[in-house]
Amino acid sequence: MTTMTENASGLREFKMPDVGEGLTEAEILKWYVQPGDTVTDGQVVCEVETAKAAVELPIPFDGVVRDLRFPEGTTVDVGQVIIAVDVAGGTAPAMEPEVPAREAPAQQDPAQESPAQESPAPAEAPAREPQQKPKPEGRTPVLVGYGVSEASTKRRPRKGVPAQQPEAATAAPAAAAIQSELNGHTPPAARPLAKPPVRKLAKDLGVDLATVTPSGPDGIITREDVHAAVASAPEPAATEAPTPTPARAPAQAPAPVVTYDGARETRIPIKGVRKATAAAMVGSAFTAPHVTEFVTVDVTRTMKLIEELKQDKEFAGLRVNPLLLIAKALLVAIRRNPEVNASWDEANQEIVQKHYVNLGIAAATPRGLIVPNIKDAHTKTLPQLAEALGELVSTAREGKTSPAGMQGGTVTITNVGVFGVDTGTPVLNPGESAILAVGTIKLQPWVHKGKVKPRQVTTLALSFDHRLVDGELGSKVLADVAAILEQPKRLITWA
């Protein structure tokens, strides 16, 4: 019904599902099974990474693994078959009659269709039928949210009914003559086969695809065919020299890529979480007008309170650290200045004020930076907040954060102090109004009660979207956070 198909030989195919609410692809990180292994319903067969998180995929039926369609490290489109399993007693819809009906119209020349249909039938051995049948099944309808069909990369059949092929062959010359008489162009059925990038290349080079000899499968024109057509036409090039000459240069540019010295440079593909993060940060930086304000504060009393809380039995087994009280301070500051907790609706030209706080915590993981958030953090007590922070961080480090765990954030904290950094100018998480950066906490000379003493000091930086938050509001929020960390008893008096 969703991500699997079955044929008459009892072979079921499991397709890449949409595991991230609309994502179109995922990378296969690791296979937990191999061909010949027995699998059961609900067994995890592989781990995949989307643009948001790493997710384990369970198989929805019992059987024996026949084939793994993609190796580890391959990025697969949603809806493509990734594993085939032999199941006992499998039944299938009678789909074989549809194979010629769907495949035949894809041929360009009716006179060439008969050989194309006759040669595969006797040449194919029965043992290979299960591998050929997924092609027509990939064109069956799929549910919304499960992406495109597995055959999304193949050209769809052209309009036409196979039963009328003899008539079409007879009428083809007349139709072509009429069409040519009307507009001087070849009939639509004779339109050359080529993928969109190849068509664009031909357009840039000024090449008419109708004059190009195809060398690809099923008569598809390749990039090499287009370049060959340019090279074999010196006379037109004389009048169109300005066009093809600069266009051919980019085609030769990739050549130096393979000559890089591997000992001196390493090229890392941008994909998964890192690719999504890069796109999100660029979109945020060039969409929301960022303003960043700074404040340096004495947090000596807060550090003493943390040591006391570690001894409290209410926090037994929980992680108590500066981030806990900083998070609580920010939540109190938001409650005192609720206008800061909002988002910008560009489509409706509205400011959407949130009456809940989903507190994001930026976490550096081996796969890149992610920002999971604590749902309804404003409702949690200090022990509950400590427990939620501990679970969030450990899950993120294990790479098990779900896509839902990273959606719906309202404000974020990023702790750059763990890397020994004093401060920074953080970029807003897309869709959020503010992000608080916390620098390293260290002993510094500080004037305390009229005397210079060593005190625990840190620097806070608050970036905010100036469309939503003006300078006064942003300053109030940052000042409240600093005041609470300087005098943590305000957690009680301001609550």
In a domain, 149, yes or no: no
CATH of the domain at 22: 2.40.50.100
Kind and range of the H or E element at 343? strand 342-345
How is 144-157 classified by DSSP, letter by letter? TTS-S-TTTTSPPP
Question: Any catalytic annotation for residue 466?
Answer: yes
Average pLDDT over the chain reads 76
CATH of the domain at 203: 4.10.320.10
The mean pLDDT value for 410-428 works out to 94
The answer to whether residues 199 and 302 belong to one domain is: no
The answer to whether residues 317 and 378 belong to one domain is: yes
The answer to whether residues 351 and 482 belong to one domain is: yes
Cα Rg, the chain, nearest whole Å = 31
At 24, the pLDDT band (50, 70, 90 cuts) reads confident
CA distance 33 to 85: 11
Alpha helical stretches, state H, 286-376: 300-310, 322-336
In a domain, 151, yes or no: no
Q: Which of 135-139, 261-265, 299-303, 480-484 has the lowest mean pLDDT?
A: 135-139
pTM, rounded to two decimals: 0.54
The residue type found at 391 is E
Is residue 141 helix, strand or coil? coil
The answer to whether residues 324 and 377 belong to one domain is: yes
The answer to whether residues 104 and 199 belong to one domain is: no
Domain limits at 186?
162-259
Is residue 404 helix, strand or coil? helix
The answer to whether residues 172 and 308 belong to one domain is: no
Last residue of a domain, one of 259, 287, 311: 259
Q: How many domains does the chain have?
A: 3
pLDDT for 452 beyond 60: yes
In a domain, 264, yes or no: no
Contacts of 471 (CB under 8 A, 6+ apart): 291, 293
- Digit-coded pLDDT (tens) for 306-349: 999 999 999 999 999 999 999 999 999 999 999 999 999 988 88
In a domain, 156, yes or no: no
In a domain, 266, yes or no: no
The answer to whether residues 52 and 171 belong to one domain is: no
In this structure, are residues 50 and 16 in contact, taking their beta carbons and an 8 Å threshold? no
Structure tokens belonging to residue 390:
């501990």
pLDDT for 296 beyond 70: yes
The answer to whether residues 252 and 281 belong to one domain is: no
Choose, from 185, 227, 290, 466, the residue flagged as catalytic. Answer: 466
CATH of the domain at 286: 3.30.559.10
Phi-psi sector, 219: left (phi>0), alpha (psi -120 to 50), beta:
left
The answer to whether residues 338 and 383 belong to one domain is: yes
